[in-house]
Structure 1
Amino acid sequence: MMTAEHLVPAEIGRAVIDPKSYGAWDPLLDQFDALRSVMPVGKVIDPDDTHEPFWLVSGFDAVMKVSKDNATFLNNPKSAVFTLRVGDALARSITGGSPHLVESLVQMDAPKHPKMRRLTQDWFMPKNLARLDGEIRKIANEAIDRMLAAGDANGGEGDFMALVAAPYPLHVIMQILGVPPEDEAKMLFLTQQMFGGQDEDMNKSGIRNLPPEQISAIVAGAVAEFERYFAGLAAERRRNPTDDVATVIANAMIDGEPMSDRDTAGYYIIVASAGHDTTSASSSGAALALARNPDLFARAKADRSLLPGIVEEAIRWTTPVQHFMRTAAVDTELGGQRINAGDWLMLNYVAANHDPAQFPDPRAFDPTRPANRHIAFGAGSHQCLGLHLARLEMRILLDVLLDRVDSLELAGEPKRVNSTFVGGFKALPLRWKAA
């Protein structure tokens, strides 16, 4: 039975679109707890009209239902990521009318989406990734080498995020994609500007509380630079094809025709950026949990069969991709609410992954959760293409870390990214004792 339209309280409506809320984390989780039990689906309306009204979907079951119904809830008609009206207007002015600065798998619906996804899907399946195990382990050891060397010079401590969690998955995905090592710093910089444009440390401005239009301009500038770079890479792989993912994308055919320049650029950008930023966040989450829990660290060091559970719980507990937006294709019902065709919905994965109805004591880090059915990778046809790679990278990194470190503890306060979209940690000071 549908009820009268539920409006999300104004303070929660403001918090859910405020990047600082995600940087603060626990107060936002408190607000989700207060809301979810009485209103797993509620409407957010801004009295100042800075953004289009949207439905906030915070209950696990409701988020899962929308995620799996890709015919009723679409990615493309409106922005697939929350944006203010000023950001939407800027995107449309740059693209000639599209709300999407980047046209990638994330912004596509059927029938185009499955055709595009199939181009690289085999690359990211476990059978193919198994052949990369040795190379990924080598990269993980190099990352821990860097951490231990920095610790030797600094009393056995350093920023795990900067030393390990950020550069390690970046190097892995760039090797797969075909970006040369000398360009990896550029890829990291542009990714941080694109996903972390709301954070003064990530966007490199150093200015707190930048106006929305300036944040949107930083993100747009990063996208434009990505497009310039990958246009050059695509041209090179067409002239000189190799066996990397860059070559697959550059020479891809859809329905017998080459991909458009915009689709090609979008494919490169989603692989290059989403392929490392999210894994770095979850890896830091795992390291933080081990540093806070010496007993868990000791048990994992003695029994590596615990690693898959630690990896899965770190992904849920951290939830790097914090939301996506959907647009209703038809009139429908969700959580007792009438959703009209054209309505915009926010699938808040942070709220869903901390729903106590699905995860008892959700704020606890519990790697022994039975059937940890989190939604950090999404669900349905848009489930993360790189989820097997992310799990493999994290498992190998933790295995190497536990081999080479005898103890791990916090050396300061972790700092989260101020971002509504891709979150996680921007600083994780740790102290360790080498094995």
Structure 2
Amino acid sequence: MAIPDEIAKDVIDPKAYGDWDRSHAAFAWLRKNAPLDVAKIEGFDPFWVVTRHADILNIERQNDLFHNEDRSATLTTIEADRRVREMMGGSPNLLRSLVQMDNPDHMQYRRLTQSWFMPQNLRKLEDRIREIARGFIDNMAAKGTECDFARDVAFLYPLHVIMEVLGVPAADEPRMLKLTQELFGTQDPDVNRAGKEMDDAGEALNMINATVVDFMTYFNAMTEDRRQNPREDLASVIANGSVYGQPLGHLEAMSYYIIAATAGHDTTSNTTAGALWALAENPGEFRKVKDDLSLIPAMVEESIRWETPVKHFMRTATADTEVAGKAISKGDWLFLSYPSGNRDEAVFDAPYVFKADRTPNKHVAFGYGAHVCLGQHLGRMEMRVLWEELLPRLKSFELNGPARRTQANFVSGPKELPIRFRMT
């Protein structure tokens, strides 16, 4: 059966993710009544909506059967898909990063930077990350008793960390933040390039493409520099890297930079802001962690589950198969809903309650299998270090006005989080 229209629309409506309750209500209905069924929405090709934790894991562990690259890796309209294929010589994706690759390419390109993001390498960065965290907490304290935690701390701290790792000068960080928000927030009038509602798929695609071009112009210049003057940074690895014995192609290199420069901070920013918002609404959990800092790693995992900054990825079936008793045909498109998987009542006790000490916590926010998030260990470290430095100094806090979320159905989280606070 097809999913009812009003539920299907809430699955894809950016405003439903900005509203939070709307998207979660739609996914709760789906898990109960139609956990794996087809959404048929005007302007879109039909697609399966995968809402259960077990089904998401099942699909993600079968990388040969469910591809990322054959069709768009994110939900797109029929018209936008047609235009992208026209622009990209038949490819359904504007970029060709790890997200838009399947094996053997995915494994080969992932290997290029994998060692940079492994825990043993990140341990060498922890002291510097802690120094950066303290600097942002000092800036927060200098504001007195009020700030917008999202804009003043959560957005800027992970941005500075990944830009330092990448080799982007601090002076260019505002530009990188703006471009990231434009790329992921195309559907939100507060952050997109046009500053207005985007109802026209063609206009939205033009904006995304313009943002991608701006990124590429920047990183093309960086590539030239790093080839002439290599340094101990990630940009030098990408600029001088080779795959299959050949230098990276232009599209692959630019895509690598862009995924590092965007997902490398935005997801952590969203989760950090989401965690403080959750603690503001659950002061007992704040006291619990403040009184026992050993709970911070568990709280980090819970905040990742709670916020789930990446809302979906698409997969394409490469052969006729079956998932949860449903016949999936070759070429079918599947929408993996990570927020739904992370609220699955079959896996999580009281899934709509923020429990700072939740254990076990087998969330799917980082994905699973071959495509598991490359930067997951860095993101966890950044959040752990920030809370280790902030919680001992943060005496009390509360919301100081309405907090708001970005309207986006791919990557989103809090965009405004005004708080009143007291530091020790």
Q: Distance in 2 between matches of 1:279 and 1:142?
A: 18
Choose from 3, 21, 26 the match for 1:26. Answer: 21
CA contact (8 A) 1:294 1:407 kept: no
Aligned mate of 2:57, from 46, 52, 64: 64
The amino acid that maps onto 1:398 is W
Residue identity opposite 1:409 in structure 2: E
Per-residue deviation, residues 194-240 of structure 1 (Å, max 9, x unmatched): 11110011114332354222222111111111111111111110000
For the residues of structure 2 that align with 1:180 and 1:33, how far apart are their CA atoms?
44
Residue matched to 1:322:
311
**Farther-moved stretch of structure 1 (12-21 vs 273-282):** 12-21
- Partner SS state of residue 100, structure 1: coil
AA matched with 1:279: T
Return the letter of the residue paired with 1:199. D
Cα distance in 2 for partners of 1:250, 1:381 equals: 24
Counterpart of 1:315 in structure 2: which amino acid? I
Q: What whole-Å deviation, never above 9, does each CA across 1:380-435 have from its counterpart, x for those lacking one?
A: 00000000000000011111111221112111221011001001111111111011
Q: 1:310 aligns with which of 299, 306, 328?
A: 299
Residue 6 (structure 2) aligns with: 11
Q: Contact 2:10 / 2:22 at 8 angstroms: preserved in 1? A: no
Correspondent of 2:97 among 90, 95, 104: 104
Match of 2:259 in 1: 270
Matched, 1:428 2:421: no
Give the alignment partner of residue 381 of structure 1, picking from 360, 370, 385: 370
Is residue 392 of structure 1 aligned with residue 387 of structure 2? no
Which letter does structure 1 place at the counterpart of 2:338? Y
Other-structure match for 1:74 = 67
Q: Tell me which residue corresponds to 2:327.
A: 338
State the match for 2:166 in structure 1.
177
Distance (whole Å) between structure 1 residues aligned to residue 199 and residue 30 of structure 2: 29
Which stretches in structure 2 are left out of the alignment for 5+ residues?
none
Does residue 1:407 correspond to 2:400, yes or no?
no
Amino acid at match of 2:24: L
Q: Contact 2:405–2:412 (CA<8 Å) still a contact in 1?
A: yes
Distance in 1 (CA, whole Å) between partners of 2:372 and 2:97 is 14
The equivalent position to 2:358 in structure 1, one of 364, 369, 391, is 369
Deviations 1:277-332 (A, max 9, x none): 00000001111122222222222222111101110000000000000000000000
Within 5 Å, give how 1:182-221 maps onto structure 2: 182-221=171-210
Asked if the contact 1:290–1:408 (Cα under 8 Å) also holds between the matched residues in 2, the reply is no
Equivalent position of 2:107 in the other structure: 114
Point out where structure 1 has 5 or more consecutive residues left out of the alignment. Answer: 1-5
> Is the 2:14–2:408 Cα contact (8 Å) retained in structure 1?
yes
| Match of residue 41 from structure 1 | 36
The separation in 2 between residues aligned to 1:78 and 1:420, in whole angstroms, is: 18
* 1:107 shift after superposition: 0.3
Distance in 2 between the 1:210 and 1:143 partners? 37
Q: Is the 8 A contact 1:67 1:379 kept in 2?
A: yes
Question: Which amino acid in structure 2 is aligned with residue 24 of structure 1?
Answer: D
State the TM-score, normalized to the length of structure 2: 0.98
Q: CA shift at 1:40, angstroms?
A: 1.4
Which segment drifts farther, 285-294 or 127-136? 285-294
Q: Give per-residue Cα distances to partners, 1:119-161, cap 9 Å, x unaligned.
A: 11110011100111111111111111222222x2xxx112100
1:38 CA drift (Å): 2.5
Distance in 2, matches of 1:77 and 1:97, equals: 10
Q: Matched residues, percent identical?
A: 46
C-alpha distance in 1 between matches for 2:380 and 2:114: 16
CA distance in structure 2 between the aligned counterparts of 1:401 and 1:164, rounded to whole angstroms: 11
Distance, in Å, in 1 between the alignment partners of 2:411 and 2:127 is 29
Q: Determine if the alignment matches structure 1 residue 165 to structure 2 residue 158.
A: no
Q: 1:86 aligns with which of 55, 64, 79?
A: 79
Aligned to 2:33, the other structure's residue is in SS state coil
User: CA-to-partner distance for each residue in 1:344-369, whole Å, 9 max, x for gaps?
Assistant: 00001111111111112111101222
What's the C-alpha RMSD, in Å, of the aligned pairs? 1.1
* Aligned length, in residue pairs: 424
